Structures are given as structure tokens and as C-alpha cells.
A and B are shown apart, each in its own frame.
Chain A
């Protein structure tokens, strides 16, 4: 704080000034200078001082501090919980501030700066001794550098020039360093050189800046060349086709150039025809391969079904004691037969995957064409062989030993033999024009053993009540009537009293498994006749089996005396030969279309009812109820007609009225074998099955006996 002295004005020495200020205006007088002057009037209460006292000087100090500001203010501090003196800064006015750059040399900041400068300075420090010489030498060469040197004081100011001329001395230093290096080294480096600051009086800095070029960014992008895409396939055939079309085009152009117009239309035609024929031949060459490819494609498509067919065994059968299920597998359908009913299914005995299905109609009024289709399990989408006939086909049989021979019986009474070997689709022979043929629909056919002449022959039963044996003699059919199903007890009197013999309508027959001459015929009246091929006049035995027509008879595979019959009167009955009352009767609540014994067990049989359910019985497990009763066909859409066991696989085929043949896999419970059968060979298995059924029969027969 600066102190200034302001002298007090002596009241006597400057009366004018004082008077003007403090007293009232006195009457004016003119003083010696011509100006108005005033006389002062001393007030009465003015302080009278002696001259010595007046000469006393009082020092007044003008400070910026407010003298009246309290200097001992206190404030209660909550921290210290006592009154603390508050720093007083209200009374001070800041009149002038100036920032300074001077540092005390001994302060830490100054020391730090000195050290930093010393650290930067060392490289040029060595040349500093001769710095002044170099500067002098380079003075002339330096133009516009802006450095003014004290040229007249080289040595004395050499130290001063140090920090400022670092870069110049570096340049000079590099140029002359090799020469002066020795000098430097001789003088030595006296420790870290102390940096000497240039004084501002002899040296001053001046700098100037040249014009900076202005930078500007400019960018340009060219248009890429236009692009397009092309995609194509190169194969041998596409190349060939391109060449062909191009060649034809060239030919046409040549013709046009020559001025001939007319050969154009006929010219392409012969070329195309020859191409078609060639294509056909080529396709025929690959027919076998294409068939294999078709089967593989089918297998891939129906892969899950194939896996199920081979490997799936219903695991829940372990927990069901007396129940089993059937699993639907493939469904064989064919467009032309969609409106026809499946009338018969027959497996081939030589080829385990081949079966024949015939299509016709049971409807008396709605008769139309018929079809025979042979399917293989390997190709469920299309039949291996199919033949269309003029009338519905009612039954089929594949020869046991010559699997290419198939005989069919039709609704109009015709029988015919097909040979699958021939390329064409014509049957080998038909029985249309043969005298004495069937007059009504042929309901069942069956191949018999070759007769003594070595001719193939088969039997047929028809609704006209006759059983006929047909012989295939050099592609001609010769018939021999075996039996006529006369019904002597029914009297039918004509108008003039003559008795017209009435024949029963044969609806089905079944040949004995071991004795090829014995067979059973079932009629629509519900009678079963046991006949022999050797006796044509009478039956071996006859009995009334059912109330309504018998749809199917099936012999047991193992016990040659047991057979089953099924009828429209809702029952399936199991009979034994020579016993007039049935062993078992099962009521299935719907007309039973077909019954079949299982080829793998003597006590298992299946029956199909018209309401779309399949009933499988195992008499060994349950004598009264079926172990499987399952609906496999949608009842609202169609009815089930036939059922057939496969001889090799655990599957069953069922046919319905829409021309579909569905294959079903039997679950393990339906195929149960007795415990002894585990390690037995075929013969032993046969005996086991026989024992099983014998045991069953004995149980049944005993109460009767």
C-alpha cells in the first residue's frame, strides 16, 4: 500500500481557498491582481493555535482501508462450536491491480524453471563459448532473420545470445562443428552449463511470420463404368440345344437367301419325328434305371414309413397285457381306381413284397369297369402292373409256384388269366366265349396244383352256384364243372308243377391246406359245404353256419381241421371239421367283410368289419375279446372290405371302398409267440403252434364232453 502525503492546507496561507469552501460568501473586494477578492471573517468559535502548533505537520495517510470497518468481527462456527474471528475484508477497496511476471530467484518455481532451461540448453551449450564468433560470422548471411545482435560486443555477450539463438547456433554449429569440436573438447564442459538469461537492454527479440498458404480441400468422384449381371448354366445338353437351334436358324436363313419359301413347313417335321423316336428308344433303355430311381425317390419321400415298417415296435405294448395296436404304414392308391372298391387282396408267395389288388364294385346297380393292380411295397405310389377290364374284378389269385400267372374273376362271370411276363397289357386268355361259363359274378378263384397233363388249372366259385375248374391249355381255357351247389331242401315249383332245381349262390370257397382236393364253399344263404374235387355230385358234408351270406372262409395254417367263417350277420365263427357246432362265436357289431388266420400263429386271426374297424383276436391270450380293435378307415368316407396277412412281414393289408389299400403294422403283442418258441427251429415252431391250438381246443371241448 502506498502511502502518500497530503499536506494539510494551512488556513492562513490559503485563505481564499478555504474561504471559498467553508464560509459564506464574503463581500467581494478587488485584490491587487484585479480580480475580485474576498475578505474572510473569522468566526468566533474558531480554534486559535499558536504558530508553532500551526507548523506542526500532521501526517495523514490515505489508505484504502476503511477505518471505520470493524476489525474484530467474530462469527459462530458450527464446526468448532465456538466463536471464531471472521476475517475482515470488507473495508478494503482494491484500487489497482497489476499482474507481474517476476519471480524471486530463490522461490521454488524459479528454481524449477532454471533447471528446465538448463536441461534444454546442453547441446548448444558446448558451442556457446564460440557462439558469438559464429554469430558474427553468420551475420552477413542472415537476412531478415530478425535477430539483432550486439555486434560490437561479441565476447561479453556471447553468453546472452545462448538461449535465443539456439536454432541458429545449431545450424552454424553443425556446419562448423567438426572444426570446432576439438576446441570444445579442449575447453571441456564445466558441468551442466548455467543458462544465462539475455538482458532485455542489449538484446531484443523480433519475429515475423511469412504468409501461410491457404489450404483448400477439393474432392471429385468419377462415375464408375456401368455394370450389368449375367447368369447362366453351361451343360452338355444346353450347348447341344443351342447349337441345334442356331444351326436350324442358319439353314432357314440360307433358304430364305436362296429365295425358296415352301420347304420351310415340311422341313422341320421329319427332323422332329426322328428325334421323338430316338428319345423314346433312349428312354426305354433307361427304364430299368428310372424304375430304380423311382423306388429310391419313394423311399426317400416315405422314409419315416419305411423306418417304421422295418424297425418300429410299439413300446407301450409292454405295459398292455391283452392289447395290441396296428400302425398305419403306406397307403396304396391309384387314380383310375378311386371310385372302385377293393374286392380282393392276394399276396404273392414267391415275392414277399408283391401283392395283387383287384378293384370293382359290390353295388349291383353301379357296375362299371374294373382294375387289377399289382403293387410292390417298395413303390407305394404307383402299381408295378395294372390292367383295366371291362367289368369289375371280384377276385384274384397269384399262382403259388409260377408267380407270373395271375387269374382273376369278374363280375360278369368271366375269368381270365394274366401273365405278367408279357410286355403287353393283354391277358393271356379270357373265358368270354367259352360255353358253359359262369352266368353270374365270380366270387373267388384259386389256383390248384397242376393236373396230370401238366396243365395249370384253377377253380372258381360264382354266384350262379357252380364251382368250375378251368384248365389252361395252350392259352385256351377249358372248363370242367366240379360241383353245383344244389339246395334240394328248397322247393321251387314252376307254374306247371315241375321242380326247378335251386342252386345256392356260392360266395366264397377255401381249399384245404394240406389236401388239395378238399375245399369248403360258403354260400349266400349261410351254408357251408365241404366238397371234394373228385366227387361232383354230392358234398362230403354240409351244415348251416350263419344266418346271412358268408363272406369269407379261412383255414388255419397250423391245425388242418380248424377254419373260420365270417358273415354279414355280424359274427365270426371258428369251427372244427366234422363238428357241427362252432367252437367260438364272436359278435363284432357290424357285418364282417373278411376273416383271415395269421400265418405266424395258430391262434391269431383278423376280421374286418364294414364300419372300418379291424379286430384281431388271439385265442391264446383272450378267448372272448379281441386283443386289438382299431378303426383304421374313416367311417364317414368309406367302408372296409378286405383284410389280408402278409406271409413274410408283420403287416396286414386292408382295402376299402375308395380304392385304397392301407398297410398296417402289427404291434408286438399281436405277434406273441409262446416262450418255448424262442430258440426253436421251423419244425419245432410248427409243433408248438399245434400244441397251442390243441390245448385251446381241449379247454373248449371239455365242457361239451
Chain B
């Protein structure tokens, strides 16, 4: 919810498409959340065409920083039900159509 990103405006239909990273649900502590969101944004921008590589980058960075085992899902349309350790979940949107879910669970 931090940075206001790009807003696309079409003259004819006046549709506004927001692309800023938007945290939908998270129970991480504040600094951890901002760090992880930045990491996700970086990964998605770097691998904008390949969800798998973006997810891999996120997962490996999280494992290194905060300890294994982390799980990541990056995609445009999926449903999920996950069990996660408390205070280790981030579920966010980015880029208008990308959803990212990162959680830690043994």
C-alpha cells in the first residue's frame, strides 16, 4: 500500500488501472513486510514474462534471509488454501493483474 504506482487512463472509457503493489493480507511485522513486498516487486519486474523464475527468486531470497522453508505462488488466476506459520504470510497484488502469495510452513 506504500508507493502509488502508475495509473493508466483511456480517454474513451475512463478506466483507471492501478499497478502499485497492494498488500491484500499479511501478518508479518511491519519492516519484514515492506522488505518482502519490495523483494516481490523486484522479482516480478525482473521476470515479468516468467512466473516460475520470479517465484523461484522470491523463494530463494526468503530462504536465505529468513530461514527455510518458504513457499511462493505467483500468478494471474489461482485459488489456494494454505497453512502457514503465524506472522509469516504475505498475500499481495501487483501490476494490476498479478497475485503473489508467500508463506512459511514446515
- Residues in chain A within 8 A of chain B (CB atoms): 224-236, 239-240, 242-244, 246-247, 274, 278
Is A232's CB under 8 angstroms from B77's CB?
Answer: no
Closest chain A CB from B89 CB (angstroms): 6
Taking a contact as CB atoms closer than 8 A, the residue among A230, A236, A244 that contacts B89 in the complex is: A230
Output the least CB separation between A284 and chain B (Å): 15
Measured CB to CB, the nearest residue on chain B to A239 is: B93
B105 close to chain A: CB less than 8 A: yes
Q: How far is the CA of A243 from the CA of B83 in the complex (A)?
A: 26
Q: Tell whether, in the assembled complex, residue A230 and residue B22 are in contact, meaning their CB atoms are under 8 Å apart.
A: no
* A233, A239, A244, A278, most chain B CB atoms within 10 A: A239
Contacts of B48 in A (CB 8 A): none
Which 5 A-B residue pairings sit nearest by Cβ, starting from the closest?
A231-B81, A234-B99, A243-B18, A233-B79, A226-B86
Given contacts A230-B84, A231-B82, contact A239 B13 (CB under 8 A): no
Residues 46-104 of B contacting A (Cβ, < 8 Å): 75-86, 89, 91, 93, 96-99, 101, 103
**For residue A232, which residues in chain B have a CB less than 8 angstroms away from its CB?**
24-25, 79-80, 91, 101
A616 to chain B, nearest CB (A): 55
Chain A residue nearest to B23 (CB atoms) is A246
Could you say which residues of chain B place their CB within 8 Å of the CB of A278? 13
Collect the chain A residues with CB atoms within 8 Å of residue B14's CB.
Answer: 274
Chain A residues near B85 (CB-CB < 8 A) = 225-227
Residues of chain B within 8 A (CB-CB) of A243 are 17-18, 22, 93, 96
Assess the A234–B86 pair: CB atoms within 8 A: no
B1 at the interface (CB under 8 A from A): yes
> How far apart are B76's CB and chain A's nearest CB, in angstroms?
7
Q: Are A246 and B22 in contact, CB atoms less than 8 angstroms apart? A: yes
Question: Given contacts A226-B86, A229-B84, A246-B1, are A234 and B78 in contact (CB under 8 A)?
Answer: yes
What is the predominant secondary structure among interface residues of chain B facing chain A?
strand
**Bound complex: CA of A224 vs CA of B105, how far in Å?**
11
Kindly provide the distance from the CB of B8 to the nearest chain A CB, expressed in whole angstroms: 12
Nearest CB in chain A to that of B100: its residue: A234
Max chain A C-beta neighbours (<10 A), residue from B13, B17, B24, B103 = B24
Q: How far is the CB of A250 from chain B (nearest CB, A)?
A: 8
> Size of chain B's interface in residues, with CB distance under 8 A?
33
A235 to B99, CA, bound (A): 8
CA distance A230 to B83 in the complex (A): 6
Give bound CA distance, A239 to B81, whole Å: 17
26 A-B pairs whose Cβ atoms sit less than 8 Å apart in the complex: A224-B106, A225-B85, A226-B85, A227-B85, A227-B86, A228-B86, A229-B84, A230-B82, A230-B84, A230-B103, A231-B81, A232-B79, A233-B79, A234-B76, A234-B80, A234-B101, A235-B77, A236-B76, A236-B77, A239-B97, A239-B98, A240-B17, A240-B96, A242-B22, A246-B18, A247-B18
User: In the docked arrangement, what's the CA distance between A264 and B46, Å?
Assistant: 40
Q: Which residues from chain B contact A236 at a C-beta distance below 8 Å?
A: 76-77, 97
Known contacts A227-B105, A229-B81, A230-B103; is-contact A247 B97 (Cβ 8 Å): no
Specify which chain A residues have a CB less than 8 angstroms from the CB of B86 in the assembled complex: 225-228
Residues of A near B97 (CB, < 8 A) are: 236, 239
Residues of B within 8 A of A (CB): 1, 13-14, 16-18, 22, 24-25, 27, 75-86, 89, 91, 93, 96-99, 101, 103, 105-106
B33 to chain A, nearest CB (A): 15
Q: Kindly state the separation between the CA atoms of A244 and B78 in the bound complex, as whole angstroms.
A: 20
Contact at A228–B22, with CB atoms within 8 Å?
A: no
| Bound: A226/B22 CA distance, A | 26
Task: Give complex CA distance A239, B94 in Å.
Answer: 9
- Residues in A with CB closer than 8 Å to B78 are 233-234
Residue of A nearest to B18 (CB): A243
Q: How far is the CB of A228 from chain B (nearest CB, A)?
A: 6
The residue on A at minimum CB distance from B88 is: A225
The answer on a CB contact under 8 Å between B84 and A227 is yes
Hey, which chain B residues are within 8 Å of A225, CB to CB? 85-86
Q: Which of A229, A230, A236 has the most CB of B within 10 A?
A: A230
Are B84 and A242 within 8 A (Cβ)? no
| A244: B residues at CB distance < 8 A | 18
- Give the residues in chain A near B98, CB-CB below 8 Å: 239
Closest to B25 in A: A230
When A232-B91, A234-B75, A274-B14 are in contact, do A239 and B96 touch as well, CB less than 8 Å? yes
Which A residues are in CB contact (< 8 Å) with B79? 231-234
In whole angstroms, what is the CA distance A246 to B1 when docked?
A: 9
Which chain A positions have C-beta within 8 A of B82?
229-231
CB-CB nearest in chain A for B4 = A250
Assembly CA distance A83 to B99 (angstroms): 106
Least CB distance from B83 to A in Å reads: 5
Inter-chain CA distance A226–B27, complex, in Å, is 13
Cα distance A236–B25 in the bound complex, in angstroms: 17
Q: Are B93 and A228 in contact (CB under 8 A)?
A: no
Complex Cα distance, B96 from A231, in Å, reads: 21
Neighbouring B residues of A239 by C-beta, 8 Å: 93, 96-99
Q: A231-B80, A234-B78, A234-B79 known; 10 other A-B pairs, CB under 8 Å?
A: A225-B85, A227-B105, A228-B27, A230-B103, A232-B25, A234-B76, A234-B99, A243-B93, A243-B96, A247-B18
Name the A residues within 8 Å of B77 (CB-CB).
234-236
Chain B residues in 8 Å Cβ range of A233: 78-80
Chain B residue contacts of A231, Cβ below 8 A: 79-82
| Closest B residue, CB atoms, query A225 | B85
- Report B7 CB to chain A, min CB distance, Å: 9
Q: A621 CA to B18 CA in the complex, in Å?
A: 77
Minimum Cβ distance to chain B for residue A224 (Å): 8
**Residue among A224, A226, A235, A278 facing the most chain B CB atoms (10 A cut-off):** A235
User: Considering residues B18, B79, B98, which has the most beta carbons from chain A within 10 angstroms of its beta carbon?
Assistant: B18
CA distance A638 to B78 in the complex (A): 52
Partner of A230, one of B16, B18, B81: B81
Question: Contact between A242 and B24 (Cβ–Cβ < 8 Å)?
Answer: yes
Are A230 and B76 within 8 A (Cβ)? no
